Structure 1
Amino acid sequence: MNIEFYYDIVCPYAYLASTQIEALAERNGATVSWKPVLLGGIFRSIGGQQVPMSTMSQPRARLNLLDLERWADLWNVPFSFADGHPRRSVDAMRLLTALSGQDRIDMSQRLFRAYWIEGLDISDRAVLDKLALEMGYQAGLFATETARNGLFECTAEAVQHGAFGVPAFVIDGRLWWGQDRLHFVEAALGGVPSLSETNHTKGDRIVRFYHDFSSPFSYLAATQIEQVVAGHGATLQWRPILLGALFREIGTPDVPLFEMSEPKRRYMSTDLGDWAQFWGVDFSFPSSFPIRTVQPLRAALVEPSLTGAIYRAAWAEGRVIDDPAVLADIIAEAGFDAESVLAKTTDATVKAALRDNTEEARQIGACGVPTFHLIHPKAEHDPLLLWGQDRIHMLERALLGWHPDCG
């Protein structure tokens, strides 16, 4: 089988993926076709932001930067942002389309190193010519008609596959996006990917889990968090929050899904299904969305053991949890007095607890849900903040003793 690997040198996620993709293919008996694209060209084709990080809230931008450094730490690869990032990469990508086969791979890896390790300015044609000559290729390759057409065609091909960013991986027409989806790529090749290791020490720790029933990502994380935390001898503290209130505080749209480009929305739907299958849980997107979750969240504060039942009702059973009658049925089916629980949701202390949790999430730097806050009570390590159900493996690594320097 063959993996089509779409990338742009100026994308840090593509750089990280480039350090792993060949080894992944080799251990699964596959090949890789390296496909240079112009990331800005993809963004223009789908109506996306040219520099997505420039529109992120400050907390999300901070966590994104930390996340990149943490991936580099996990994979033990050098990584640093060059001055002037992002640099114009059109000539660099044209240079790569002028080459083929192993020459393209070698030159791509050289350019990735030049930009992400050595901090060279790959928008400078003199720098590109120097690197090309160093690798044994002629100068000026980026200026040929073949190079220009090749880059245009590769970029259009990526968009045709549904790409809205890089790195993108395509196998038999199926696309995955992001270096953090390489385990799905490996599974598609028939491999057995692993996201965790077990060669670390343990200690007393607390995991605070900030969540909202309105989020499918929170649902997926909620199906796993108890067994992950308990399995490593840590203590789990549930922290229901009002996601919309957090978003308004930090300057994020109330429903980010509605702000995504159409290709990204389509992909996210498929990706959620992939993760549900990976975790072995049922999942269906509710017919009524977004979900108003104030009362369900307060109910979970009154009776925390209702959390799983409410999540399943919303994201696996298709029930309208923001309907008080439906919520009452869910509470009763879980073995609680629905009238009593719902009455307590109007209590001032419960309302205050939900507001306090939301403010606490903001203060620690959360940008969304699910958010995991790993705390070492003995203060032998700084707290670790992680965002996203697809970072559960990082939480597990940290519970096993991984302590990245980056935040």
Structure 2
Amino acid sequence: MLELWFDFSCPYAYLASRLASRFGTAIDWRPMLLGGVFRGIGAGDGPMATLSPAKREHNFHDMHRWAAHFGIPFQMPEAHPMRTVRALRTLLALPHSRWPSAIEAIYAAYWQRAEDVTSDAVIARALAGAGVSADDIASAQARAEDPAIKDELRVRTDEAIALGIFGAPAWILRRDSGPLLIWGQDRIGFLEAALAGWDPDGGPPPGGPRPFLEAPPAKPGATLDVYFDISSPFAYLALTQLPALTCATGVTPRLVPILLGALFKQIDQVNVPLLAMPEAKQRYIGRDMHRWANWWGEPFVFPAKFPQRTVDAQRLCILAAERGFDPGVKLATALARAMWAERKDLEDRSVLQSVLEASGLPGGWIDRTGEPELKQALFDNTAAAIANKVFGVPTFIVNGTQLLWGQDRLELVAAELAR
């Protein structure tokens, strides 16, 4: 049985709820109060309260892209986020046999029709449409304020925190070795493999690594800019898959090395976002890096020195990218692998020189990193990233307008290229 921990307020949890039937296993629906989780892990009012305008805009488009990708109807309510405590307590007060249809109905009211789910009348109408009897609805809404129901929601929320959950949707697979947590609607492959016996923290999935291989051909004339800094583990992971993305779509990316620390400073972002996350999310993200490496069959070992100053390495990436995509991605990946798999110090110029030479590029380039033109090129790339609303790496910009963020968005990048 697969547990799905959710709150009606989360759009990604809504998408996950619509995907649950594809796994061919029973779903144990686990309501929790997401605001209670955020407060319980020290995240205040949650990530939405502190999103930058650029990231907020990205997330808005990201929700819609995933909904379109999965073929799920989706509408963002103007009143989002709405308080869902009343809807959650009403659900808890219903007979358990009614939960699957009730959950679908309340989600549809919120995320398909953009209705006010803080209203008892809206909740009742949604439940009635799902076949819940008038008596059951009346009884559940009457009991929603009972201390026992309130306590049950509180206990469930505390259990979520104890499981290491920090957001929604959260999938839990109970194993002899302990509960396995997989977060998000964008890890469906991970879930399917885990249900087939994969330990995502132990090595490649059954049948071997699953690198990015298939994508629809891009629309003629499509373009792709890839903003990156090898100081990011997720940029490293994305770089390993860029040649396959290029082969599958037929689009040759333009590599845009930037200085991530300078970008963060300009947009008032903390210098190392990972270290600013709540402890539960830090632990999960740390595991997630290794899981993606296992999934794609790429080496990954967290560096002995982190963070590292990568300004010289990024300037070398600019020189290589000027020679074309193939030498550019080869050097960028080699430098990133030196940091994220071989635990080397990219602030050591002898390390940079050895990576250059191993990549078939002039070792003498190391002496060019102080050239004013190269310094300016990295400054200009970073300024362009800020102008294009980049807020992290890897960032993919399709056709000069569509921004997608993260190594876990490659299938959406391919879909945008084909659109």
TM-score by length of 1: 0.90
TM superposition shift of 1:168:
0.3
Q: How does 1:217-236 map to 2 (within 5 A)?
A: 217-236=234-253
TM-score (norm 2): 0.88
> What is the aligned partner in structure 1 of residue 171 from structure 2?
169
Among candidates 113, 116, 120, match of residue 115 of structure 2: 120
Is the contact made by 1:58 and 1:250 (CA closer than 8 Å) also made in structure 2? no
Does the CA contact (< 8 Å) of 1:213 and 1:297 recur in 2?
A: yes
Partner of 1:378: none
Name structure 2 gaps, 5 residues minimum: 198-205, 322-326
Shift of 1:132: 4.2
Change (3 A) 1:91 1:278: same
- The runs of 5 or more residues in structure 1 that have no matched partner are 376-381
Structure 1 residues 97-112: aligned runs within 5 Å: 97-112=92-107
What amino acid is the match of 1:349? E
Q: Residues 290 and 93 of structure 1: is their aligned pair in 2 closer, same or farther, counting only changes over 3 Å?
A: same
Distance 1:195 1:320 in 2: 29
Contact 2:166 / 2:280 at 8 angstroms: preserved in 1?
yes
Match of 2:406 among 388, 397, 400: 388
For 1:175-324, what aligned pairs fall within 5 Å after superposition? 175-190=181-196, 202-304=219-321, 305=327, 306-324=331-349
Distance 2:213 2:145 in 1: 45
Task: Give the match's secondary structure for 1:19.
Answer: helix
- What is the alpha-carbon distance in structure 2 between the residues aligned to residue 194 and residue 144 of structure 1? 51
Cα deviation for residue 330 of structure 1 reads: 2.2
- The one of 326, 333, 357 equivalent to 1:332 is 357
The 1-side partners of 2:112 and 2:413 are apart by 27
User: Is 2:4–2:27's contact at 8 Å kept on the other side of the alignment?
Assistant: yes
1:225-244 per-residue CA deviation (whole Å, 9 max, x = no partner) reads 12211332212211100111
Residues 309 and 196 of structure 1, relative CA distance in 2, 3 Å threshold? closer
Secondary structure of the equivalent of 2:79? Answer: coil
For the Cα contact (< 8 Å) 1:40–1:50, is it kept in 2? yes
1:196 and 1:396 in contact (8 A); partners too: no
Question: Identity, % of aligned pairs?
Answer: 38
Q: Report the residue type matching 1:184 in the other structure.
A: F
Q: CA deviation at 1:129?
A: 4.0
The whole-number CA distance in structure 1 between the counterparts of 2:353 and 2:85 is 58
* Residue identity opposite 2:283 in structure 1: R
SS at match of 2:172: strand
1:198–1:212 Cα change, 3 Å: closer
Partner of 2:254: helix, strand, or coil?
strand
Are positions 1:16 and 2:18 aligned together?
A: no
Q: Equivalents in 2 of 1:169, 1:328: separation in Å?
A: 45
In 1, are the aligned partners of 2:41 and 2:278 still within 8 Å (CA)? yes
Q: 1:39 to 1:229 in 2, by over 3 A?
A: same
Alignment match, 1:61: 56
Q: Look up the equivalent residue of 1:317 and give its one-letter code.
A: E
Aligned partners of 2:216 and 2:415 also within 8 Å: no
Change (3 A) 1:197 1:296: closer
Tell me how far apart the structure 2 counterparts of residues 195 and 227 of structure 1 sit (CA, whole Å): 6
The structure 1 segments of at least 4 consecutive aligned residues displaced by more than 6 Å after TM superposition are 191-197
Aligned to 2:366: 342
Q: Is the 8 A contact 1:197 1:397 kept in 2?
A: no
* Contact in 1 for aligned 2:212/2:241 (Cα 8 Å): no
Q: Give the conservation status (yes or no) of the 8 Å contact 1:302–1:345.
A: no
User: Match for residue 201 of structure 2?
Assistant: none
Distance 2:106 2:214 in 1: 31
Q: Distance in 2 between matches of 1:354 and 1:197?
A: 33
**1:200 and 1:296, CA in 2 relative to 1: closer, same or farther beyond 3 A?**
closer
Is the 1:221–1:370 contact (alpha carbons within 8 Å) kept by the matching residues of 2? yes
Q: 1:25 corresponds to which letter in structure 2?
A: F
Q: Once structures 1 and 2 are overlaid, which stretch shifts more, 200-209 or 10-19?
A: 200-209
Query: In 2, distance between residues paired with 1:40 and 1:227?
Result: 40
Residue among 78, 82, 103 paired with 1:87: 82
> Is the 8 Å Cα contact of residues 67 and 73 (structure 2) preserved in structure 1?
yes
Q: Distance in 2 between matches of 1:74 and 1:197?
A: 15
Q: Partners of 2:95 and 2:290 in 1: how far apart?
A: 36
- 1:198 CA drift (Å): 5.1
Matched, 1:370 2:369: no
Give the aligned residue type for 2:5. Y
Q: 1:28-67 residue pairs with structure 2 within 5 A?
A: 30-67=25-62
SS in 2 for 1:223: helix
| Cα displacement string for residues 202-257 of structure 1 (whole angstroms, at most 9, x for unaligned residues) | 42333211100110000000000122113322122111001111112222111111
Structure 2 letter corresponding to 1:87: M
- Cα deviation code 1:38-94 (max 9, x no counterpart): 001101110113142231111111101110011111112221222322111111111
State the 1:127 CA deviation: 3.3
Note if contact 1:196-1:397 (Cα within 8 Å) is conserved in structure 2: no
The one-letter code of the counterpart of 1:179 is Q
SS of 2:305's equivalent in the other structure is coil
CA contact (8 A) 2:84 2:118 kept: yes
What is the DSSP-based 3-state SS (H/G/I as helix, E as strand, rest coil) of the residue aligned with 2:373? helix
- Counterpart of 1:398? 416
1:189 aligned partner, one-letter code: L
**1:158-208 Cα deviation digits (max 9, x unpaired):** 111100011100001100111112221111112999988756664233321
